[in-house]
Structure 1
């Protein structure tokens, strides 16, 4: 089985092993990488994940982090083996190869036991996908192949490959069907007091449209691992069907495990065999939930808002305190947009207000400016305060920046989020239509809010980074 010829890239090693010649490694670049499967010309042949340069590069050599390179034949043949061998025995051939290069130290300073292909799965809503991007990018940067499966992707996903599985996904349609069956629950949901009961039914039904497309994608891509967010249980369903491990990454202030249980026990999802994830990753700072989430590992919530350009003037502090004002990426009733009330009150406050993606930006007071989509984390670094709709990503982004927040409670998890922020002392909540100049002044002058926000920012900075969590994901596949 001589479809592939393996070679040693480290010049210090004596030629003659695994194919003979010593070859220089070729730098691998971003989206030009592809993963193929093949067999090595050793006594124990099996499926092994390898890297290849772009098609137009011809018969090239690609360096792997532990100094092994592989030469592909000119035709670049892909050798497929039965799925059960690819999935359950893939690591065997790699370990056979590694046994020949024990004297070669890892180029990156860490021992990469294998390359993985990882599917990151989110409901096709930007607020659900964006928190997954930093960990997905960290996995990519560690040498693994990553695919973001979701929909409605923002302009920037850090150069990651995406796959749209959301063609049949409609949250409004699911909401109507659930509301017809549970009208009382739907009314409570609009007021933000339904807890997780409504969200479980809502996303349980919505996930039905994701299972088929995700399974088709997985059959094509043959992942080693699926990482999913708490409202994308289609990831857990497909991982179970393919007998591969899964990891649950929290992206809300609600405990990830509670949401997982709410969705999997919903009336439409209860009929599915849904295995528990092998790993749960919690991103909420422990001080917001009275301690660490039981059974989970912690990871720092890294703010990421999906790109956009940022004006130079937002990258430095202004002459007056600057307040960023944002709104939800999800349109709907009771969406908690604070901008109209802020605009109405702003002229009475000695500060600069910046509206991010406003629904309209005409007839603004002299101290109010409007910008399109921007990287909020970069702008928050020079802001004095943050006003928004109480979305989990916005709350965590403001806390990471250490700025006090004024939030508007509302449907879904927004009332819960605003209460958690207020309980921690780092912000306060006001109904969207009731924001006054006095509220804006308090936001800028209450030093107890600022002190608490800075405490949480320090707490977040001390949490493990996404790059350190990659090793925990690798353990799920390496066993």
Structure 2
């Protein structure tokens, strides 16, 4: 069969879906990854076929578009309408401020040439199945426009599924009604109506969902899902010589992810961690680029910084992973069977809005609360709050993660559960069957 995968064109969204593409291609299916410009080099480097929909000039609308900025008043009004309680407020704020704004970036009020090119390719190539990124829901419209079966590929907690369930429960339906319209449905609507596609629950949530998350990390409750093992993919690279053999002393990885290095200068979590490992009989390998090293004091002698090394190369040599809880780093650490120390704070996920229209992002990754709750709840790791814990407390955390046998046992249990899930190759027959049932 023909399978089209479509994603937000950045590494942190592309890399998680590469193993699905490889599994399908290895099984003999034709695979294309179609998306706006920005990811084609990484797609080709993975040995896959890229379809570029649109041009860089057309895509470069910029984040200054007025419809992209979260409206705090609207965010609060809709939260009241769908009865968001304080325990769920962070999830709502992530959905409204981050996922919704990202989805709208490629769903302008007047459908873009990128979107038209995506549908044009789908109608020309006629895939049997479209697998799409929840942060890029235009893929669902393209699937409906060409008659393909379609499913979402979760890359983290299901914020859009959870929010849509809230609208279904409290606002008269998945798309909402009256003064409580689901903003995700409204973002998709202009593109969908351009191709006579109905905006309904199936369009927003897919006919089923590929879900790599354990129950403790799920947000949505009643969606049709296909469990699958998250297979780390970090791109290729030449293995550095210092990774050839076993390290002379316990090695600790420090990674704060691809998105951080893309959007920020400086690194607020790192100074305290670097000071904490000074004097310990360990080697800390910190994957920090030049922007992230801005403003840091001189590094301790037992710290090695590298601009980039694939985590699939680095983590097998490590004893502990210190990370920010994002899906890519988190699951790479689970796959390497490592205890984790996840950086998290007590901040709200709500942006701090300024009078000039700007905003300040919290020093907390949007996924860190859920990842932290999972590893600490399973006894597989510890929480590090750089805002409140002292250097001595951070040092104690590192020693505990290295030496406590109960944390080692917790990491083993989490790793065994990860191994027990079906791999992307294992679910190919399920995808074939579901495609036959849902293809129009």
**Length-normalised TM-score, structure 2:** 0.72
CA gap of 1:204–1:196, structure 2 versus 1, over 3 A, is: same
For residues 66-105 of structure 1, the aligned pairs below 5 Å read none
State the distance in 2 between where 1:294 and 1:229 align: 16
Any unmatched runs of 5+ in structure 1?
1-115
**Which residue number corresponds to residue 104 of structure 1?**
none
**Which residue number corresponds to residue 273 of structure 2?**
342
**Which residue number corresponds to residue 3 of structure 1?**
none
**Which residue number corresponds to residue 143 of structure 2?**
239
In the alignment, does 2:374 pair up with 1:457?
Answer: no
Cα drift, residue 281 of structure 1: 1.2
Choose the corresponding residue for 1:475, options 427, 433, 436: 433
CA gap of 1:429–1:149, structure 2 versus 1, over 3 A, is: farther
* Structure 2 counterpart SS, 1:478: helix
In the alignment, does 2:50 pair up with 1:162?
Answer: yes
Cα drift, residue 332 of structure 1: 3.6
In the alignment, does 2:212 pair up with 1:283?
Answer: yes
**Which residue number corresponds to residue 322 of structure 2?**
387
CA contact under 8 A between 2:158 and 2:218: conserved in structure 1?
A: no
**Which residue number corresponds to residue 371 of structure 1?**
306
Any unmatched runs of 5+ in structure 2?
77-85, 109-113, 167-173, 176-181, 193-197, 345-363
CA contact under 8 A between 1:402 and 1:457: conserved in structure 2?
A: yes
CA contact under 8 A between 2:284 and 2:302: conserved in structure 1?
A: yes
CA contact under 8 A between 2:131 and 2:150: conserved in structure 1?
A: yes
CA contact under 8 A between 2:126 and 2:148: conserved in structure 1?
A: no
Structure showing greater radius of gyration is: 1
CA gap of 1:192–1:261, structure 2 versus 1, over 3 A, is: closer
Which has the higher mean CA deviation after the structures are superposed, 269-278 or 238-247?
A: 269-278
In the alignment, does 2:286 pair up with 1:355?
Answer: yes
Cα drift, residue 301 of structure 1: 0.6
Choose the corresponding residue for 1:217, options 121, 142, 156: 121
How well do the aligned residues superpose, as a CA RMSD in angstroms? Answer: 3.5
**Which residue number corresponds to residue 426 of structure 1?**
380
CA gap of 1:401–1:414, structure 2 versus 1, over 3 A, is: same
* Structure 1 counterpart SS, 2:69: helix
State the distance in 2 between where 1:322 and 1:261 align: 43
CA contact under 8 A between 1:336 and 1:432: conserved in structure 2?
A: no
**Which residue number corresponds to residue 107 of structure 2?**
208
**Which residue number corresponds to residue 22 of structure 2?**
137
CA contact under 8 A between 1:190 and 1:412: conserved in structure 2?
A: no
CA contact under 8 A between 1:192 and 1:416: conserved in structure 2?
A: no
CA gap of 1:337–1:136, structure 2 versus 1, over 3 A, is: farther
Which has the higher mean CA deviation after the structures are superposed, 226-235 or 248-257?
A: 248-257
State the distance in 2 between where 1:245 and 1:380 align: 37
**Which residue number corresponds to residue 173 of structure 1?**
63
More helix by share: 2
Cα drift, residue 190 of structure 1: 12
Cα drift, residue 204 of structure 1: 3.3
Higher relative contact order (CA 8 A, sep 6+): 2
CA offsets, 1:383-434, max 9 Å, x none?
A: 1011122111211111122111112231433333333333332222223455
CA gap of 1:292–1:178, structure 2 versus 1, over 3 A, is: closer
CA contact under 8 A between 1:120 and 1:226: conserved in structure 2?
A: yes
CA offsets, 1:177-226, max 9 Å, x none?
A: 4435236859x999887242333421331230553332233234332211
In the alignment, does 2:72 pair up with 1:182?
Answer: yes
State the distance in 2 between where 1:165 and 1:332 align: 24
* Structure 2 counterpart SS, 1:118: strand
State the distance in 1 between where 2:366 and 2:269 align: 17
**Which residue number corresponds to residue 187 of structure 2?**
269
Which has the higher mean CA deviation after the structures are superposed, 430-439 or 406-415?
A: 430-439
**Which residue number corresponds to residue 359 of structure 2?**
none
In the alignment, does 2:320 pair up with 1:402?
Answer: no
How many residue pairs align between the two structures? 363
For residues 410-421 of structure 1, the aligned pairs below 5 Å read 410-421=364-375
**Which residue number corresponds to residue 156 of structure 2?**
252
CA gap of 1:453–1:165, structure 2 versus 1, over 3 A, is: farther
Cα drift, residue 292 of structure 1: 9.3
**Which residue number corresponds to residue 6 of structure 2?**
121
CA contact under 8 A between 1:336 and 1:389: conserved in structure 2?
A: no
CA gap of 1:193–1:270, structure 2 versus 1, over 3 A, is: closer
* Structure 2 counterpart SS, 1:457: helix
In the alignment, does 2:254 pair up with 1:329?
Answer: no
CA contact under 8 A between 1:325 and 1:353: conserved in structure 2?
A: yes
**Length-normalised TM-score, structure 1:** 0.66
